[in-house]
Amino acid sequence: MTTNSSRTNTPDAGGEAPGVPTDAELANSLDGGFRSEYATVNGLRLHYVAGGEGTPLVLLPGWPETWWEFHKVMPALAAAGRRVIALDLPGMGGSDKPATGYDKKTMAGVVHGFVRSLGYDQVDIAGHDVGAQVAFSFAVNHPEATRRVALLDVLHPDASMYQIPVLPAPGLPFFPWWFAFNQVVGLPEQLLAGRAHFLIDWVFDNFLLDQGAVTPADRAVYTRAYDTADGIRGGNGWYQTFGQDIADLGTYGQVTAPMLGLVSNLGDGMFAKQMEATLPTQGSDVRVVLVPDAGHYFVEEAPQAVIDAFNAFFV
């Protein structure tokens, strides 16, 4: 297990952590003319990074990350003739962190408003982890706005979540304890504010095969995003709405846009088996692709595999 001695400091009153590049600086570091921007949608100020020209591709990150999750793939995707737009979801990074509205249907509505605010009627969309849940909700609730959709490693919440054990049985390959921890209101903020690096390190140390794929500098970026009470509360909001998400899923039909499931072999193949069994029942045009030799955060661990899969699918 990797231990990092390089730490970001606690963010100052202005929201920045000394020694950690700003979102604008991070965006400017990418090839392809990427810029850090803001849009206001439904009263929410949303942060995004965009670059390239062509067919719009919206990227939605997962927990506990930000738009920076996609930094290794954004330049190549833009070079292939796309307008690449990585969005911090409500509750994430530089975007507002409202008190409510974290169910995936509401978040998908915000993303739809964001897309329209940029002048697009239809986009390609891809999400990882919680971002995948929002991308699915976007596709099923806004089919006219969805050209193609990719879900990375995670499916929309369903009733199987109610069967996750509180205590792991011996030999269980995967135990998502944070699903329950993040349900607790108030306490995670008290425990983690100013100490988010412990959580960030634990997550990447345990769900990467190559732990160096998310560097100390990357971890500092994510620590900054989740090191305040509001940052923790916003991210936990995505989990606290799972009950509503499960209820909403029961009202949905199939996704009509072509759908790609890109999945790791995490948990002795549990993620892949779930994706292969479930996703074909949720869409009319579905393909599932395995990313070998990489963990849950394969966008950073196996970026070329993601680039190749996206270039083959988003055509």
Distance CA 292, CA 269 (A): 10
Q: What percent of the chain has pLDDT over 70?
A: 95
For residue 7, pLDDT over 60 is answered with no
What integer pLDDT is reported at residue 11 of this predicted model? 41
CATH fourth-level superfamily of 23-313: Alpha/Beta hydrolase fold, catalytic domain (3.40.50.1820)
More confident residue, 3 or 137: 137
Catalytic residues, by residue number, are 129, 239, 296
Q: What distance in Å separates the CA atoms of residue 313 and residue 205, rounded to the nearest whole number?
A: 31
pLDDT, position 269: 87
Three-point CA angle 95, 85, 65, nearest 5°: 50
How many Å apart are CA 218 and CA 216, to the nearest integer? Answer: 5
Provide the b/e sequence for 66-97 (b: ≥16 CB within 10 Å). Answer: bbbbbbbbbbbbbebebbbbbbbbbbbbbbbb
10 pLDDT higher than 50: no
